[in-house]
């Protein structure tokens, strides 16, 4: 059986020999994700924000594999983000989906309009079963638990942005355990470290004024294009650069103004409520509270072991729910 070497910056080199995994990786819907940035419009204004949905999806699959997940759950890991639009969560801000679930609402439609159902049937697999993500306990868990998706995007985004080294990431992977089908962390120190990294992810990346401004400004350009009939909703499922090119070809003055702002020299400040502002931005409130496996075998929430971290996360949640008022400085 032919094998293929896949290289991941966090999980290293791995040989894949399952034909269905290789076929799904090579499929058009998965390949499109190589042109979709995980951090939305942030890569246009900040360095280090170049993770793609393809890289993340591959990473999730490899982490599920490392933790002992079966073939179907690995496939679910590959496909869990296949319905993201260009610029990922920008579509959520465009349509005011404050749970950031626009892609989830369109999952079945995107998959059914592709060759994936036929491809999976050719291997004797059922697409409906694979896409029932709630049954895959390593892949998905409701917050505040850990899951492969949440672990991967946290470490991957921070690594690309230069906040983490490979050794730190591998050390945390070594601390992961599976108990009753759920991901837990061996030891308080590793769990507290991950919570602090998650807070950093939310505050220094997701809620950074530059990133929020860029996403909302691009959403504004897309709203204008849709309202003026210059763009169809189905075109949102292009790759990032294809969608940008269509917006630029519109020759619409206000759209052009929005796009001119999205460059590395952009300067934005957060201002207090009541002050003049250009964009009011909200992001999905996010937190984690891992289950910690203690030496005596007990499972305890990290928050029960570190009250300071719990208070810190509550403050971040409060700010996310309140939203941010952003002012353009240049």
- Mean pLDDT estimate for the chain: 96
**How far is C-alpha 167 from the chain's CA centre?**
22
Question: 3-state DSSP call for residue 328?
Answer: strand
Q: Which domains does the chain have, with CATH numbers?
A: 7-209+283-328 (1.10.3210.10)
Could you tell me which residues come within 8 angstroms of residue 148 by beta carbon, excluding any fewer than 6 positions away?
60, 63, 64, 67, 69, 77, 138, 139, 183
Q: How does pLDDT run across 24-54, given as a tens digit for each residue?
A: 999 999 999 999 999 999 999 999 999 999 9
Residue 262 pLDDT grade (very low, low, confident, very high; cuts 50, 70, 90): very high
Q: How does pLDDT run across 60-95, given as a tens digit for each residue?
A: 999 999 999 999 999 999 999 999 999 999 999 999
- Residue 1: predicted pLDDT: 52
**Residue 37, strand partner residues:** 52
**Residue 299, strand partner residues:** 293
Q: How does pLDDT run across 151-200, given as a tens digit for each residue?
A: 999 999 999 999 999 999 999 999 999 999 999 999 999 999 999 999 99
Bond into 144 cis (ω within 30): yes
Are 102 and 15 a contacting pair, CB within 8 Å? no
CA-angle at 270, arms to 47 and 92, nearest 5°:
70
Position 117 pLDDT exceeds 60: yes
Mean pLDDT of all residues in 242-262:
97
Are 214 and 294 a contacting pair, CB within 8 Å? no
Are 257 and 321 a contacting pair, CB within 8 Å? no
Are 205 and 157 a contacting pair, CB within 8 Å? yes
Q: How does pLDDT run across 210-242, given as a tens digit for each residue?
A: 999 999 999 999 999 999 999 999 999 999 999
Could you tell me which residues come within 8 angstroms of residue 60 by beta carbon, excluding any fewer than 6 positions away?
77, 78, 80, 139, 148, 149, 152
**How far is C-alpha 84 from the chain's CA centre?**
10
- Residue 330: predicted pLDDT: 80
CA distances to 229, 241, 258, 272 from 248, rounded to whole Å, are 14, 10, 10, 33
pTM summary value: 0.96
């Amino acid at each position: 059986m032919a094998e293929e070497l896949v290289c991941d910056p966090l999980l290293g080199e791995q040989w894949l020999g399952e034909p269905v995994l290789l076929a799904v990786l090579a499929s058009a819907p998965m390949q499109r994700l190589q042109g979709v940035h995980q951090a939305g419009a942030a890569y246009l204004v900040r360095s280090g924000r170049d993770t793609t949905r393809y890289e993340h999806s591959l990473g999730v699959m490899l982490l599920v594999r490392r933790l002992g997940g079966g073939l179907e759950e690995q496939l679910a890991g590959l496909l869990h983000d296949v319905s993201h639009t260009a610029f990922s969560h920008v579509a959520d801000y465009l349509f005011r989906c404050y749970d950031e679930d626009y892609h989830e609402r369109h999952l079945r439609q995107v998959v059914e309009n592709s060759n994936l159902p036929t491809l999976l049937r050719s291997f004797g697999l059922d697409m409906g079963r694979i896409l029932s993500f709630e049954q895959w306990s390593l892949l998905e868990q409701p917050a505040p638990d850990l899951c492969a998706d949440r672990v991967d995007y946290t470490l991957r985004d921070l690594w690309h942005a230069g906040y983490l080294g490979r050794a730190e990431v591998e050390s945390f992977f070594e601390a992961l355990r599976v108990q009753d089908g759920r991901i837990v962390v061996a030891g308080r120190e590793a769990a507290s470290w991950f919570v602090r990294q998650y807070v950093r992810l939310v505050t220094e990346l997701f809620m950074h004024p530059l990133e929020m401004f860029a996403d909302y400004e691009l959403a504004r350009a897309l709203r204008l294009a849709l309202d003026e009939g210059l763009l169809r909703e189905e075109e949102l499922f292009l790759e990032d650069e294809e969608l940008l090119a269509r917006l630029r070809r519109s020759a619409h003055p206000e759209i052009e103004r929005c796009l001119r702002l999205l460059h590395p020299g952009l300067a934005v400040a957060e201002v207090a409520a009541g002050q003049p502002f250009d964009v009011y931005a909200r992001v999905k409130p996010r937190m984690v509270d891992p289950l910690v496996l203690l030496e005596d075998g007990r499972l305890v929430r990290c928050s029960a072991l570190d009250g300071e971290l719990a208070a810190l996360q509550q403050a971040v949640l409060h700010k996310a729910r309140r939203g941010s008022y952003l002012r353009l400085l240049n």
